[in-house]
Structure 1
Amino acid sequence: MIFTPEHPPRGTVRDWLTARAVDGGTAIVFPETEETLTWAALRTTAEQMARGMYALGIAKGESVAIIHPNGRAGIEALYAALYGGFRATMINLAAGPDAIAYALEHSRARYAFVHHSQIDIYETVAPKGMALLDPNDLEVNADLPELSAEDHALLMYTSGTTGKPKGVVHSHSSLLAGGWTTAMAHELTAQDRGFCVLPIYHINGLCVTVMGALVSGGSLAMVSRFSARKFWAQADQGGVTWFSVVPTIISHLLHGAAAPGPAVCARLRFGRSASSALAVETQSAFETRFGVPIVETMGLTETAAQILSNPLPPGLRKIGSPGVPFGNEVRILLPDLTEAPTGTEGEIAIRGPNVMREYLFNPEATAASFAGEWLRTGDLGRIDEDGYVFVTGRLKELIIKGGENIAPREIDEVLYTHADVVEAAAFARPCKRYGETVEAAVALRSGADLSGQELIELCTQRLGGFKSPEVIHVLAELPKGPSGKIQRLKLADLIPIDAA
C-alpha cells in the first residue's frame, strides 16, 4: 500500500499492515526495554492472535476491550483486534473507576486484553461474565473473515455535556484517514520516526502517531508514559524525527532542566501540539530555547484526531491558530446552520473521510451531532481570509485539562451523592500548567458541617485524581437563571481565584 497525499487510504488496517510486513523494516522501537518490533513480526503476531480470538467464538465486529498502557503488549493487542475485524475498544486508564466500568458495560465486550498493572481495576469494575484474553493461549487457529473498509474498527469513549461517556465508532476507512491527514499535513515519509509519548487509548496517540506511521510507512519510538526528565534522552535513543504532544507537555519541557543534544536537534523536523490551545508565549519560548519548530493543530475523537494543522516551516504558521484543514473541509455555522461569512464567529463544523460513523447505541446523539454531512464540533471560531481557523470558545461546557475532556456533570453527580450537598456545579479555571483545571462550587443543607476537602476526597475515590476538583468552594447559593438552572459558566467569574 502506497501513501498518496491526494487520496485517502483505501482498504483496511489488515491490508495496510500486510503491505508494511511485505515491505519489511522496523515498526516500533521501545527505548525503555530496548526492544525492536518489525512490521513483519507485528503482522504475524496480530494474525495469530486474531485467529485465536475467532477460535474462542468472538464474532466479527464484536467489541474487544484493551486495558493497556503504551507498550509492546498493548500495541499487539490493538493490531490483533484491528487485523481480525473486531471493534478495538480502547479503555482510558485515566478515566476513573466509574467511567471505566461504564465503558466496559456499554461496549458489550465479552473479552478483554488486560495489562498486569491494570488487573486490580479490571477485577473491581469488569461486568459479570467478562473474560480475560491471554495472548499466550490464543494458539488454536481459525479462519479469518473478509473485511471491508466500512466495517467497524475502533471504539473510543469520550465525555459529553451530559456527563455520560459516548462511544465514538470509527471504521477502517475513517481510522486510516486519521493517519492520512497527519501524514499529509506533516509530509511524513518512510524515513520518519515519530515519538509516541501520548497514551494510545487517547485518539491523538492512536491516530496521529500509530496510524500516521502505518499509513506513511515510517516507524515509532514508544514509551510507557511521558517523562520530562527522560524525554530528550529517549528521543535521542529512539532516533525520532518528530513528536506529537499536548500543551502541558510542551510547558513541562520548556521549564525543565533537560535539553536536547545537538544530534537530537539536527534530526528533529518538528514538534506537534494538539488537544487544547497552546499559549502563544509558551510556543515562542519553546522554539527560542530548543530551536525546534512547534506546529499547532486541532483534532477530535470524532474525527480520528486531526482536522486542522499549521503548515510545516517555511509555510505560514499563524501563532494562536490551529491552522487550516488537511484532508477534510471546515466551515463556520451560524445558529440557523447556514455558513457564516469570512471572519464571522460561529460553530466549527467538519466534513471529510476521517469523521466518525456513529456514537455506539446512541442514534439520538449521533443525529444531533450532524448538520447534514457536517459534524458539529461544539467549538466556536472564525475563519480568516487565508483560511486559518481561530478558536474563540466552546458551546459545550467540557473542561479540557491537559488535553483530556472532562464532563462537569460527571463531577456534579458524584458531589450530589453526599447527603449534605444541595447544589453542585463543577467548572473550569484557567491554568498555566494544564490549560484548564477543575474546580467546583456547592451549597450545603442548613446546619451541615462539611469541608471542601472531604468532598474532594469523595470525588477522588469515585473519579480518580485527574478528574477531581482541586478546590471546592462552599457557597450559600449557586447562581441561577430565570428557569432555576445553575449558571455554571458564571462561577469562575463570581468566585475569586484565591477563594477557598
Structure 2
Amino acid sequence: MKLERDAPPAGTVRDWLDARADAGGTAIVFPDNGDVLTWSELRGAAHGFAAALTSKEVKKGESVAIVAPNGKAAVSAFYGAVYGGFRATMINLAAGRNAISYALEHSEARFAFVHESCADLFAQSNLTGVTSVALAGSDQADLHAVMPQDHALLMYTSGTTGRPKGVVHTHASLLAGGWTTAIAHNLTDADRGFCVLPVYHINGLCVTVMGSLVSGGSLAMVSKFSASRFWEQAEAGEATWFSVVPTIISHLLHGTTEPTAACKAWLRFGRSASSALAVETHAAFEKRFAVPIIETMGLTETAAQILSNPLPPGPRKIGSPGIAFGCDVAIQGPDGAEVARGTEGEIVVRGPNTLLEYLKNPKATSATFREGWLRTGDLAQMDEDGYVFVTGRLKELIIKGGENIAPREIDEALYSHPDVVEAAAFARPCGSYGERVEAAVRLCDGSRLSAEALIDLCRERVGAFKSPDAVHFMAELPKGPSGKIQRLKLAELIPA
C-alpha cells in the first residue's frame, strides 16, 4: 500500500501491517539493547496476540488493555489488539493508581497485556478483575473481520479538570493521524523516526508509530526519554527525525551533551508538539545544535497532528504551530461563525483524523462537535497566510479584574532568561481582583537567579498588570505522560 498526499489512507491498520510485512524490511530498532524488529516479525507477533484473544472469545470492538512501557512488547500488543478487531486501550502508566483503575473499569476491559515491569502497578490498580494475557498465541483462530470505521483505539485524556474522557478512534482515523504527520514532514520509506515519547500518549502512538506505518519508514524506539543519552541513542538508531515536547527541548538545550557530526548528518529535523514552544527556546536550540525544529500542534481527539510548519526551506513562522495538513482548521467565535483574520477565537478542526466519540459519554461528544467542527478549547488567531498563533486555553485563561490574561505570554517572558528550564504562569484566587497571576519556575543547576529578578523581567516585557505577583521555584514542574506541564495543578500543589 502506498502513501498518497491527496487522500487519507484507505483500508484498516491490519491491511497496512500486512502490506508492510509482505514488502519486508525493518520496522523498529531498539538502541537500548540493539534489538531489531522486522515488519514480518511484527505482523507475526500481532497475529499471535490477536489469535490468543479471539480464542478467548473476546468480542469484536471489545476493549483490551495494554499496560506496558515503550518496547517490543508494547508495540506488538498494540498492533495485535487492533489487528484482531479489538479496541486497544492504552493505559497511562504515569496517571496514578486511581486513574488506571478508572480506565480499566470504564473501558470494561476483561483482558489485558501486562508487561512484567508493570505487574505491581497493575495488581494495585486492577479492582475490576481484568485477566492478564500473554503475547504468545495460536495461529489457528479465525480472526474477526475488520472495517475502516471499526473501533481501534481507546485513549484516556489526562483528566486535569475532571474525570478522564475515553477518546475512541477508528482504523480510519488512526491511519489518518499517521498520514497528517507523513505528508506534513514529507516522510518516505527512507525515514526513521526516533520515538522517546510513550506510546500510551497520542503523540508517541500516532505521530511516530502510525507515521512510520503509513510512510513505510521505520522507528528507533527507547523505553523513555533520557537527556544525557538522547543524542547517543538517536545516532545509534540512525534516526532521521524525532518528535518531542517543549520541556524535552528545554532540557536538551540546558544539558551538556551534543550531537556528533554523524548524528546531525542523519537528522533532517525535530518536531515539537503537545504545548507551545517558547520562541527564545526554539531559536536557542537551533543555534546551538543546528537541527531545525518544526513546531506543530495536535490533540488526542485528532489522532495527534492538525497543524505544522512546513519543512525548510518552506516558510516557518517561529511562535506558530503552522498551517493545516490533511484537515480543515478555522478560528470561530462563540457563536460558531468564523472570525476575521487576526481576530482571536477558538481553534476548530474538521477532517478524517477526528475522534469517533467519547466512550459512553454522548453529552461530551455532542458538546465537542458543532456543525461538524471539533472544538479544541484553544484560543488563537490566524494570519493572512493561514498560520495559526495560539494565545491560550479557554480553561487556562487568567481573569484578573475582568481582564483576560493568556498564561503563555508570561511563560514566554520567563523563558527569555537563559537560566529558566521550565516555566508556567497560573491563576490564584484573589479577593481584590478575582484572580491574580503567579508562576512556577525550574532553574538550571547552579543558578542564583531570584524571584524578584524574574518578576522585573516580566514587568519589562508584558507590563506590571500581567506580571506575576509571586514566582515559586520548583525542582520539577508537574507534567503529564507526554511531558506537557500541567498548569492547572500548580495552584493546588503550591501553598498560597
8 Å Cα contact 2:328/2:351 also seen in 1: yes
1:140-169, CA deviations, whole angstroms, 9 ceiling, x for partnerless residues? 731112110000000000035641100000
DSSP 3-state at the match of 2:470: coil
Runs of at least 5 residues in structure 2 that lack an aligned partner in the other structure: 399-406, 415-419, 440-466, 473-494
1:7-27, CA deviations, whole angstroms, 9 ceiling, x for partnerless residues? 100000000000000110000
Question: Which segment is superposed worse, 322-331 or 156-165?
Answer: 156-165
DSSP 3-state at the match of 1:176: helix
8 Å Cα contact 1:344/1:383 also seen in 2: yes
Separation (CA, whole Å) in 2 of partners of 1:435 and 1:177: 33
DSSP 3-state at the match of 1:287: helix
Separation (CA, whole Å) in 2 of partners of 1:56 and 1:201: 24
Answer yes or no: is 1:209 the counterpart of 2:183. no
Q: Give the residue type in structure 2 aligned to 1:85.
A: G
- Count the aligned residue pairs: 431
8 Å Cα contact 2:95/2:158 also seen in 1: no
DSSP 3-state at the match of 1:278: coil
8 Å Cα contact 2:279/2:319 also seen in 1: yes
Separation (CA, whole Å) in 2 of partners of 1:489 and 1:172: 45
1:298-355, CA deviations, whole angstroms, 9 ceiling, x for partnerless residues? 0000000000000000000000000000000111111111111111110000000000
Answer yes or no: is 1:433 the counterpart of 2:421. yes
Answer yes or no: is 1:185 the counterpart of 2:159. no
Please state how far the C-alpha of 1:436 moved relative to its aligned partner.
3.1
Separation (CA, whole Å) in 1 of partners of 2:266 and 2:21: 26
Judged with a 3 Å threshold, the aligned counterparts in structure 2 of structure 1 residues 333 and 155 are, in CA distance, closer, same or farther, namely same
Separation (CA, whole Å) in 2 of partners of 1:185 and 1:94: 30
Other-structure match for 1:287: 286
Other-structure match for 1:70: 70
Judged with a 3 Å threshold, the aligned counterparts in structure 2 of structure 1 residues 490 and 366 are, in CA distance, closer, same or farther, namely farther
8 Å Cα contact 2:246/2:273 also seen in 1: yes
1:108-139, CA deviations, whole angstroms, 9 ceiling, x for partnerless residues? 10111111111111111113321001123x33
Separation (CA, whole Å) in 2 of partners of 1:440 and 1:388: 29
Other-structure match for 1:196: 195
Q: Give the residue type in structure 1 aligned to 2:470.
A: P
- Identity across the alignment (%): 63
Please state how far the C-alpha of 1:101 moved relative to its aligned partner.
1.1
1:147-199, CA deviations, whole angstroms, 9 ceiling, x for partnerless residues? 10000000000035641100000000000000000000000000000000000
Other-structure match for 2:102: 102
Please state how far the C-alpha of 1:267 moved relative to its aligned partner.
1.3
Separation (CA, whole Å) in 1 of partners of 2:305 and 2:200: 16
Runs of at least 5 residues in structure 1 that lack an aligned partner in the other structure: 400-426, 442-477
8 Å Cα contact 2:45/2:135 also seen in 1: no
8 Å Cα contact 1:63/1:88 also seen in 2: yes
RMSD: 2.2
Q: Give the residue type in structure 2 aligned to 1:246.
A: V
Q: Give the residue type in structure 1 aligned to 2:424.
A: E
Other-structure match for 2:248: 249
Separation (CA, whole Å) in 1 of partners of 2:275 and 2:197: 14
Please state how far the C-alpha of 1:396 moved relative to its aligned partner.
2.0
Other-structure match for 1:368: 367
Q: Give the residue type in structure 2 aligned to 1:301.
A: T
8 Å Cα contact 1:47/1:83 also seen in 2: yes
8 Å Cα contact 1:179/1:208 also seen in 2: yes
8 Å Cα contact 2:436/2:468 also seen in 1: no
1:373-429, CA deviations, whole angstroms, 9 ceiling, x for partnerless residues? 100000000100010000011112499xxxxxxxxxxxxxxxxxxxxxxxxxxx999
Matches within 5 A, 1:3-402: 3-136=3-136, 138-139=137-138, 141-160=140-159, 162-397=161-396
Judged with a 3 Å threshold, the aligned counterparts in structure 2 of structure 1 residues 494 and 238 are, in CA distance, closer, same or farther, namely closer
8 Å Cα contact 1:247/1:434 also seen in 2: no
8 Å Cα contact 2:437/2:470 also seen in 1: no
Match of 1:497 among 467, 471, 489: 471
Judged with a 3 Å threshold, the aligned counterparts in structure 2 of structure 1 residues 491 and 226 are, in CA distance, closer, same or farther, namely closer
Judged with a 3 Å threshold, the aligned counterparts in structure 2 of structure 1 residues 183 and 383 are, in CA distance, closer, same or farther, namely same
Separation (CA, whole Å) in 2 of partners of 1:246 and 1:398: 22
Please state how far the C-alpha of 1:491 moved relative to its aligned partner.
6.5
Other-structure match for 1:415: none
DSSP 3-state at the match of 2:421: coil
Question: Which segment is superposed worse, 213-222 or 244-253?
Answer: 244-253
Please state how far the C-alpha of 1:44 moved relative to its aligned partner.
1.1
Question: Which segment is superposed worse, 340-349 or 127-136?
Answer: 127-136
Judged with a 3 Å threshold, the aligned counterparts in structure 2 of structure 1 residues 69 and 336 are, in CA distance, closer, same or farther, namely same
8 Å Cα contact 2:198/2:224 also seen in 1: yes
Question: Which segment is superposed worse, 41-50 or 21-30?
Answer: 41-50
Q: TM-score, normalised by structure 1?
A: 0.83
1:461-495, CA deviations, whole angstroms, 9 ceiling, x for partnerless residues? xxxxxxxxxxxxxxxxx5479xxxx9667666785
Judged with a 3 Å threshold, the aligned counterparts in structure 2 of structure 1 residues 368 and 211 are, in CA distance, closer, same or farther, namely same
Q: Give the residue type in structure 1 aligned to 2:219.
A: L
Separation (CA, whole Å) in 2 of partners of 1:71 and 1:22: 23
8 Å Cα contact 2:194/2:221 also seen in 1: yes
Separation (CA, whole Å) in 1 of partners of 2:74 and 2:45: 12
8 Å Cα contact 1:152/1:170 also seen in 2: yes
Separation (CA, whole Å) in 1 of partners of 2:32 and 2:110: 32
Judged with a 3 Å threshold, the aligned counterparts in structure 2 of structure 1 residues 331 and 258 are, in CA distance, closer, same or farther, namely same
8 Å Cα contact 2:105/2:128 also seen in 1: no
DSSP 3-state at the match of 2:223: coil
DSSP 3-state at the match of 1:497: strand
8 Å Cα contact 1:27/1:219 also seen in 2: yes
DSSP 3-state at the match of 2:165: strand
8 Å Cα contact 1:92/1:202 also seen in 2: yes
Judged with a 3 Å threshold, the aligned counterparts in structure 2 of structure 1 residues 115 and 262 are, in CA distance, closer, same or farther, namely same
Separation (CA, whole Å) in 2 of partners of 1:154 and 1:487: 41
Q: TM-score, normalised by structure 2?
A: 0.83
Separation (CA, whole Å) in 2 of partners of 1:371 and 1:197: 35
Runs of 4+ in 1 over 4 A off after TM superposition: 427-432, 486-495
1:59-85, CA deviations, whole angstroms, 9 ceiling, x for partnerless residues? 110000111110001110001001001
8 Å Cα contact 2:427/2:436 also seen in 1: no
Judged with a 3 Å threshold, the aligned counterparts in structure 2 of structure 1 residues 494 and 202 are, in CA distance, closer, same or farther, namely same
